[in-house]
Chains A and B, each alone.
Chain A
Amino acid sequence: MADIALQGISKKFGPNTALRGVDIDIKDGEFFVLLGQTGAGKTTTLRVIAGLEKPDTGKVMIEGQDATRWNAAERDVALVLQQYSLYPRLTVRGNLEFPLKSRTQNFTAKEIKERVERVAETLQITRLLDRKVEKLSGGEMQRVSIGRAIVRQPRVFLMDEPLSALDANLRDVLRVELKKLHQELGATFVFVTHDQVEAMSMGDKIGVLDRGKLIQVGTPDDIYARPLNTFVARSVGTPPMNLIDGVLKASKAILDAGGQALPVSNPRGKDGQNIRFGIRPEDVVVAPDAPAEARIFDVENHGVIKILTLDLEGTHVHATVSAQMRVKIDDTVRFGWKPEKVLYFDPANGRNLSLS
């Protein structure tokens, strides 16, 4: 079990800067998710923790000790990748035994057998133990990969998009199982993903990365409800948060597109100031007595809800409404927002004015 701290980590690959002064504190036993797009630096961060990449500057601390110069084996971490990287010729048991049979380990045959069987039980793959890996489904293979990581009982699990190659239903199932596994093992998990649903639903903490910089670290609720800037605001939620430019005037939001006025409560910013208003689709209200008007550009039917795209003179605003609402493309509707849910961003730098 281990605390991990990254202090001022920077890393370049040739002319490309992958990480720019990243500081992260990950507490013992935490499920920490690194969320970011391709190229944000999340995999590099994970590899720096694993000892597979040397940072150009900065320190990697594990349990308070400077581990920057330790090699991967000395760090006692296990890595699970998107590609299963199992030995196809071996059985499931063979794959699970493999890490325990390496020359640096001194396990008796009995210990190995016990450990493998306990892990198989945890992951519900006992009945597969004597099958060849190449005969397994994708979900089963990923369970075996995770099993191979667990069997050594490392202090830290590092997972790089382990679910992204699986189909949607299986991903739902394994998401819940991984969380359970984390609770059972009590180990530190660092989980890399570009999928905001995974980040929100699994993480104790989420770290949002953008182009090599760590923008914000917080609980899923912090990230969703109190984003530090517009980038974080747009990185979670489906559809993402609406950002609508306008001006604060006489305690109203006057939208640039169409000049319509919407009410605000507790506004941040001065009268006459340009504001980028942030409102989540579920906090946009579509109702006959709402203050503003828009045309419906698109209707997405999700069964339980509908997602409307409202067109305000070229600016698109998403609204989540009940599935029972009867609307169609090109209808004109009245809309507004829940004033207490509006966030205020500085259009110049994207900063959340409510947090500064």
Chain B
Amino acid sequence: MARIEMVNVQKFFGQNQVLKDLHLTIEDGEFVVMLGQSGGGKTTALRAIAGLETVTSGKIVIDGVEVQDRKAADRDIAFVFQSFSLYPHMTVRENIAFPLRAVRMDAAERNRAVNETAETLQIAQHLDRKPSALSGGDMQRVAIGRALVRRPQALLMDEPLGVLDSKLREQMRAEIKRLHIARGSTSVYVTHDQIEAMSLADRIVILHDGVLQQIGAPDEVYLHPKNLFVAKFVGSPVMNIADVQIDGSDVMLKGVSTGFTFAESDLAGLAKSGAGTTLGLRPEAILLTHAETPGYAEAVSTNIEPLGSHDIVDVRLGDTILRVRTESGFVSGEGQPVWVGLDTAQAHFFDNKTELNLRGVA
């Protein structure tokens, strides 16, 4: 049980500011994923919550109590690292029991807690083995078990699946999520993998250059990115970006004579932006047809990536190459004429200067 708040947290490593006025609240029982590139500040934020890193200024509040000056051991928080950091000379049982020995729990109770944890994580059959005899997935299960056995208020995980292969990662991801649901403890999870974030999180916290970019549910972040960074960081293939001119209710791409017509209300206020506007389109927001269609612009296909379940088709529209998601085989090859339309409801506009989304920000 824990509600975690970071209030105006600043962190410097020497001259280098890695957290810039970070302000966020993680609700009790929530699964929050911190997402960003390396150097974005996500691991530092996690370590600051854990007490493994001091903060330069600002407060960290757990259940209403300021803890920024407390040691890690006094925060009742467990931490799982990417490197499993198990004791190689101890058995799995001894590794999991270790945090309980430190608090001098009696042997019978300790055994019960270890067995129960091992059961939950499906590693009961490995209890008397050494870590070196385990697979990568089982080692990480033991590391998670060691973190959970104390029943901490919150579980913090720093890329715990980063070193596992993709199949195992997918499986462990499901297990971590189910474990969270079963235990109901507050979880904070750091990753650079956007699919992992989208799949695990109740809410995603996106950090870039030490600045909080957006915090929101996975769908919110995907459908209503607050700025260009979030828009390009989440989603694969990346969102298409093009400079546009707005002319009444028409949106004009460079080198294209036909504009895309939007409802007037969609564009209200956009044209005023002096710095110019960037149009953002996810590959599924672009519609292709083979025949001339009113409101569509003529383009030519330049590349097809058949992926079996669907194709990614590159089309050249004026000066811009757009990546479009289509059903398999919809465009038969390169150099084909196609007509391009937009799903205007899924179009985003960003201010060229501030990079903020000018529309649909929840």
Judging by beta carbons under 8 Å apart, are B305 and A303 in contact?
no
Judging by beta carbons under 8 Å apart, are A320 and B218 in contact?
no
Q: Which of B198, B199, B312 contacts A201 (CB 8 A)?
A: B312
| Contact residues in A for B268 (Cβ distance below 8 Å) | none
Given contact pairs A300-B199, A301-B198, A304-B284, A281 touches B309 in the complex (Cβ within 8 A): yes
Does A168 belong to the interface (CB within 8 Å)?
yes
Judging by beta carbons under 8 Å apart, are A280 and B174 in contact?
no
Does B353 belong to the interface (CB within 8 Å)?
no
| Contact residues in A for B174 (Cβ distance below 8 Å) | 297-298, 309
Judging by beta carbons under 8 Å apart, are A236 and B198 in contact?
no
Does A121 belong to the interface (CB within 8 Å)?
no
Q: Which of A176, A183, A282 contacts B309 (CB 8 A)?
A: A282
Report the Cα distance A220→B329, complex, angstroms: 12
Q: How far is the CB of A233 from chain B (nearest CB, A)?
A: 11
Does B137 belong to the interface (CB within 8 Å)?
no
Q: How far is the CB of B168 from chain A (nearest CB, A)?
A: 14
Judging by beta carbons under 8 Å apart, are A329 and B309 in contact?
no
Judging by beta carbons under 8 Å apart, are B309 and A237 in contact?
yes
Query: Which residues of B in the span 172-217 have a Cβ within 8 Å of any Cβ on A?
Result: 173-174, 177-178, 181, 195, 198-199
| Contact residues in B for A330 (Cβ distance below 8 Å) | 181
Does B294 belong to the interface (CB within 8 Å)?
no
Does A299 belong to the interface (CB within 8 Å)?
yes
Does B308 belong to the interface (CB within 8 Å)?
yes
Q: How far is the CB of B65 from chain A (nearest CB, A)?
A: 32
Judging by beta carbons under 8 Å apart, are B305 and A201 in contact?
yes
Mask: chain A, 12-46; 1 = CB below 8 Å from B; 0 = not: 00000000000000000000000000000000000
Does B303 belong to the interface (CB within 8 Å)?
yes
Mask: chain A, 275-315; 1 = CB below 8 Å from B; 0 = not: 00000111000000000000001111111100001000000
Judging by beta carbons under 8 Å apart, are A304 and B314 in contact?
no
Judging by beta carbons under 8 Å apart, are A200 and B199 in contact?
no
Q: Which residue of A lies closest to B37 (CB)?
A: A167
* Chain A, interface residues (CB within 8 Å), range: 35 or more
Given contact pairs A172-B237, A329-B177, A329-B181, A300 touches B195 in the complex (Cβ within 8 A): yes
Q: How far is the CB of B234 from chain A (nearest CB, A)?
A: 7
Report the Cα distance A329→B178, complex, angstroms: 8
Judging by beta carbons under 8 Å apart, are B236 and A200 in contact?
no
Does A250 belong to the interface (CB within 8 Å)?
no
Does A224 belong to the interface (CB within 8 Å)?
yes
Report the Cα distance A280→B303, complex, angstroms: 25
Judging by beta carbons under 8 Å apart, are A301 and B308 in contact?
no
Does A101 belong to the interface (CB within 8 Å)?
no
Does A356 belong to the interface (CB within 8 Å)?
no
Report the Cα distance A106→B58, complex, angstroms: 69
Q: Which of A183, A201, A238, A320 contacts B306 (CB 8 A)?
A: A201
| Contact residues in B for A169 (Cβ distance below 8 Å) | 238
Given contact pairs A201-B312, A303-B235, A329-B181, A176 touches B195 in the complex (Cβ within 8 A): no
| Contact residues in B for A302 (Cβ distance below 8 Å) | 195, 198, 236
| Contact residues in A for B219 (Cβ distance below 8 Å) | 301, 323
Q: How far is the CB of B280 from chain A (nearest CB, A)?
A: 13
Report the Cα distance A183→B306, complex, angstroms: 17
Q: How far is the CB of B170 from chain A (nearest CB, A)?
A: 8
Does B330 belong to the interface (CB within 8 Å)?
no
Report the Cα distance A202→B312, complex, angstroms: 12
Judging by beta carbons under 8 Å apart, are A280 and B236 in contact?
no
Q: Which of B238, B303, B325 contacts A304 (CB 8 A)?
A: B325
| Contact residues in B for A280 (Cβ distance below 8 Å) | 308-309
Report the Cα distance A179→B235, complex, angstroms: 23
Q: How far is the CB of B9 from chain A (nearest CB, A)?
A: 28
Judging by beta carbons under 8 Å apart, are A224 and B308 in contact?
yes
Does B222 belong to the interface (CB within 8 Å)?
yes
Judging by beta carbons under 8 Å apart, are A179 and B303 in contact?
yes
Judging by beta carbons under 8 Å apart, are B305 and A304 in contact?
no
Judging by beta carbons under 8 Å apart, are B199 and A304 in contact?
no
Q: Which residue of A lies closest to B193 (CB)?
A: A168
Does A135 belong to the interface (CB within 8 Å)?
no
Given contact pairs A200-B306, A282-B309, A301 touches B199 in the complex (Cβ within 8 A): yes
Interchain Cβ contacts under 8 Å between A and B, 11 examples: A176-B314, A201-B306, A201-B312, A221-B329, A281-B309, A282-B309, A298-B173, A301-B219, A303-B218, A309-B174, A329-B178
The 7 A-B pairs at the shortest CB distance, nearest first, are namely A201-B305, A298-B174, A301-B198, A224-B308, A303-B222, A300-B199, A282-B309
Query: Interface of B with A (CB < 8 Å)?
Result: 170, 173-174, 177-178, 181, 195, 198-199, 218-219, 222, 234-238, 282-284, 303, 305-310, 312, 314, 325, 329, 334
Query: Interface of A with B (CB < 8 Å)?
Result: 168-169, 172, 175-176, 179-180, 183, 197, 200-202, 220-221, 224-225, 236-239, 280-282, 297-304, 309, 320, 323, 329-330
